[in-house]
């Protein structure tokens, strides 16, 4: 018997007291919010808070889950060789606690952006979709499945 292999990831949409959104510029995806793979032994909240700190220098607090996404497309990694498994991604609304923005190996720029201007920075369709959902969050968690290559295509979407 073979077991399915999925990457489990968590993303954080960090807002400060003025409603600005924390954004990072990544080498492969352009402007995005913080997030990444859940490591062995971590729970989802630990993973998202670690990723926020690693990528931006910001300490945050998780407020709530806002999205559950399934990227069911299979494609090749940025190296052009390595196959990437499908992904399950959990998105969280977070609030700023402390810290100053700083770059990392995964971020060349880190900025606070007014909420109403955040999508102006984003060029990747799937990132625009997920950030848009986080910005419009009103208490209902979105579930969606999609593929990102050869182009972004939404397969299902519903509130859960």
Does the pLDDT of residue 3 top 70, yes or no? no
32 inside domain? yes
Number of compact structural domains in the chain: 1
* pLDDT greater than 80 at residue 84: no
- Structure-block tokens of residue 49: 């808070």
Nearest alpha carbon to residue 131 among 144, 115, 143, 146: 115
Question: Is 110 a member of any domain?
Answer: yes
Assigned domain for 26 exists:
yes
Is residue 50, in this structure, part of any structural domain at all?
yes
Q: How far apart are CA 1 and CA 4, in angstroms?
A: 10
Which pLDDT score, from 0 to 100, does residue 4 have?
61
**Does residue 93 belong to any structural domain of this protein?**
yes
- Please check whether residue 82 lies inside any domain of the structure: yes
- Asked if residue 14 belongs to a domain, the reply is yes
Whether residue 6 has pLDDT greater than 90 = no
Q: Is residue 1 part of a domain?
A: no
List the domain range (segments joined by +) for residue 11: 6-159
**Per residue in 41-50, pLDDT tens?**
999 999 999 9
Check which CATH number belongs to the domain holding 41 and give it: 3.90.79.10
Mean pLDDT throughout 151-158? 96
Residues listed for the chain: 160
Answer whether 136's CB lies under 8 Å from 146's CB.
no
């Amino acid at each position: 018997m073979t077991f399915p292999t999925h990457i489990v990831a968590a993303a954080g949409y960090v807002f400060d007291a003025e409603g600005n959104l924390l954004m990072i510029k990544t080498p492969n995806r352009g402007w995005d919010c913080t997030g990444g793979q859940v490591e062995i032994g971590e729970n989802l909240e630990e993973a998202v808070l670690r990723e926020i700190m690693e990528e931006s220098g910001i300490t945050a607090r998780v407020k709530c889950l806002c999205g559950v996404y399934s990227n069911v497309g299979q494609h090749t990694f940025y190296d052009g060789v390595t196959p990437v498994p499908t992904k399950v991604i959990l998105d969280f609304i977070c609030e700023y606690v402390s810290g100053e923005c700083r770059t990392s190996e995964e971020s060349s720029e880190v900025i606070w952006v007014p909420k109403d201007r955040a999508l102006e920075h984003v060029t990747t369709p799937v990132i625009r979709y997920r950030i848009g959902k986080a910005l419009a969050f009103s208490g209902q968690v979105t579930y969606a499945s999609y593929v990102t290559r050869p182009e972004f295509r939404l397969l299902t979407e519903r509130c859960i």
